[in-house]
Amino acid sequence: LNADRLKQDYSRIQEWPFNSDTKLMTVKCERKSSAVDNSADLPTTVFFVKGAPDRLVRACTSYWNERGQLESMTSGQETRINDWAAQLGVGGLRVLGLACGPDQQNLTFCGLVGLLDPPRPGVKDSIRFLQQSGVLVTMITGDAMETACTIARQLGISGGTGQPISGEQLDQMQPDDPRIPETRIFYRTSPRHKNKIVRAFQAVGKVVAMTGDGVNDAVALKAADIGIAMGMMGTEVSKEAADMILIDDHFQTIWPRRSDSGHHGNGVQFAEPLNAMQILWINILMDGPPAQSLGVETADPDLRKKPPRRPSDSLLLGVLRSALIIVAGTLFVFHREMSDNKVTPRDTTMTFTCFVLFDMFNALSCRSKSKSIFTIGLFSNRTFCIAVGLSLIGQLLVIYVPPFQAIFQTEALYATDLLFLVCLCSTVFWISELAKLMHRHHYNFSRAALSLIGFNNRRSTKFSDSIV
C-alpha cells in the first residue's frame, strides 16, 4: 500500500476509537472524486483496521503475501502471523496488525508493525525499592504475553508462583480463584479485568493500590484500597474515583509517597474514633454555647468568706480528674463498639454521642467549684439550661435526621443505647459531686479546728494574765 497515495485519494468519514475489549481501532474512509489512481485496487469505501494481531487475524479472509499477491487466509497462515508477532514481542516490541477491506468482517491482512516503547528511566529502580519494602508489584497490560513478559523481565518484575494469565483466562475464573493473587503478570486484559484482580487480592488480605487513567478504570480505582490516577493523561472520571493523583504521570513518584506513608504509619496505627465533621461539631457547637452560658452564672456569695488560696494548692487537679474520666469513658465505648476491628457508622456515632454527653455533664458540674448542683438549683441558670438543651437537640438531629446523617456519617441509635450512654457519661458529674462533698467536709473540719485552736489560745492568755 502507498500510504501517501491513500492520504491523497481517500478522506476519513468515520472513526471507531480503540476498544479495550476488542483490542482494535477502525477508520472508515471514502475515495475522493478527485482521485485519479486506484493502484491498490481498493473499493470506493474501505475500512482500515489496526490492533492486536491475534484478534485482527480472526476477522481477515485474505492476506497479501511477500510478493504482493492476494491469497485466501488459512489456519496455517494465521498461525504463522501469530508466530511472527510473538517473535517481535520477545524483543520487547509492542506489535500491531494492519488490515483493510470493504467491511469489518471481510478484511485483508496487510502486515505487522513493531513499536519500541521502552520503560521510562527510573521505573526499574522504583519497582526494586517497592519490592524491597515488601510491596508486590503486578503488571496488568493489554499487550501480548511475549511483550508483557519481556518488559516485566526488564523491570525486574518476577512472574510470581503462578503463570502469566490472559484476560480471556480471567473471564473463565471465579473471583476467589487462588491463582490470581499468585500471578504478577496479566496480559491481553481490559479495564474490566482490573476490578476482578483487585477483588482477588483483597480476598486474601492484601492492601491493594491500583493505577489507572481511563474512564473504564474508575471502578477498579474505587474498589482498590488506594486508587492512583494519572494527573496529565488521566480522565476526570478516573481522578474523581482515585484517592491519589500523580501530577507528572511518573511511576517513580509513587515510591517516595510509599516511604512517607511508612514513616507516618509508624505513628498512626489506630483507627479514628471521630471524623473531621464530628470534631468540628464538638469544638464549635457543643463546647461553645455551654461554656459561654457559664459566664453568666451567679457568683457564689460564700466565696468572699473563704481564706486566700495557698500557693501550694493545685489548680489542675479537678480538670485532670474530669479529663481522665471523659477520655477513658469515650475510649471504652469506642473499643466496646469496634468488636469486629472495623470502624462503622454505628461505632463513630456511639463514640461521638458519648463524648458530647460527657461534655454536657461536665459543664453541669462546672457551675460551682464547691457547692452541689442540687444546692444552687438545677435550673437556676436559665441561660445554661437553654444552651445545653439546644446542644442536645442538635445532637439528636445529627443522629436521627437523614441529611445530617449523610454529612456527619452517623446512624440512628436505639433508646437502650442512649440510656447506656447517659448512665456512663453521668459518672463525671457524680464523681465531681462526691469530690465537692469531700471538699466541703474538709473545709468545715479545718474551720472547726482553727476555731478550737483560737479558743484555747484565748483561754491560755487569760489564765496567764490572772496568775500575773
pLDDT at 168 over 80: yes
E-only strand ranges, 65-183: 70-72, 93-103, 106-116, 139-140, 165-166
How far does Cα 167 stand from its chain's mean position?
27
How confident is the model at residue 308, as a pLDDT?
Answer: 60
pLDDT at 262 over 70: no
Neighbours of 438 (CB within 10 A): 10
Share of the chain above pLDDT 90, in %: 22
CA angle 303–308–313, rounded 5-degree value: 105
pLDDT bracket for residue 466 (50, 70, 90):
very low
pLDDT in tens, 31-49: 887 665 554 566 788 899 9
Q: Tell me the average pLDDT of the chain.
A: 81
pLDDT at 263 over 50: no
Tell the CATH topology of 3-116: Calcium-transporting ATPase, cytoplasmic domain N (3.40.1110)
Q: Tell whether domain 123-265 is in CATH 3.40.50.1000.
A: yes
pLDDT at 461 over 50: no
Among 14, 81, 22, CA closest to 53: 81
Model pTM above 0.75: no
Architecture of domain 276-298+314-449: Up-down Bundle (1.20)
Cell of 279: 470534631
Which residues fall within 8 angstroms of residue 142, CB to CB, at 6 or more apart? 20, 23, 52, 187, 188, 189, 190
pLDDT at 155 over 80: yes
Read off the pLDDT of each residue in 59-88 and give the average, rounded to a whole number.
89
What is the Cα–Cα distance from 124 to 126, expressed in whole angstroms?
Answer: 5
Among the residue ranges 2-6, 223-227, 288-292, the one predicted with the least confidence is 2-6
What is the Cα–Cα distance from 427 to 349, expressed in whole angstroms?
Answer: 20
Q: Is 191 exposed, middle or buried (0-12, 13-18, 19+ CB in 10 A)?
A: buried
**H-helix or E-strand spanning residue 297:** none
How confident is the model at residue 362, as a pLDDT?
Answer: 87
pLDDT at 160 over 70: no
Share of the chain above pLDDT 70, in %: 81
How confident is the model at residue 50, as a pLDDT?
Answer: 93
Going from the C-alpha of 305 to that of each of 40, 302, 309, 317, 413, the distances in angstroms are 114, 5, 12, 23, 48
Read off the pLDDT of each residue in 129-144 and give the average, rounded to a whole number.
85
pLDDT bracket for residue 260 (50, 70, 90):
very low
Query: Looking at the chain, how many residues does it have?
Result: 468
Q: In this predicted model, which residue has the larger pLDDT, 107 or 443?
A: 107
pLDDT bracket for residue 65 (50, 70, 90):
confident
Per DSSP, the three-state class of 47 is: strand
How confident is the model at residue 283, as a pLDDT?
Answer: 84
How confident is the model at residue 98, as a pLDDT?
Answer: 93
pLDDT at 219 over 80: yes
Among 182, 118, 178, 188, CA closest to 153: 118
How confident is the model at residue 157, as a pLDDT?
Answer: 86
Q: Is 317 exposed, middle or buried (0-12, 13-18, 19+ CB in 10 A)?
A: exposed
Which residues share a beta bridge with 348?
Answer: none
Beta-strand relationship, 209-212 and 60-64: unpaired
pLDDT bracket for residue 454 (50, 70, 90):
low
Read off the pLDDT of each residue in 337-360 and give the average, rounded to a whole number.
87
Read off the pLDDT of each residue in 160-172 and give the average, rounded to a whole number.
84
Cell of 418: 442512649
Going from the C-alpha of 421 to that of each of 326, 358, 417, 453, the distances in angstroms are 12, 9, 6, 49
pLDDT at 28 over 80: yes
pLDDT at 337 over 70: yes
pLDDT in tens, 270-318: 567 888 899 988 888 777 788 778 777 776 665 555 656 666 655 566 6
pLDDT in tens, 358-412: 989 988 888 777 778 888 777 888 888 898 899 999 999 999 999 999 889 999 9
pLDDT bracket for residue 53 (50, 70, 90):
very high
245, HSE (Cβ side, Cα atoms, 13 Å) = 13
The full set of domain ranges for the chain reads 3-116, 123-265, 276-298+314-449
pLDDT in tens, 411-433: 999 999 999 999 999 999 898 88
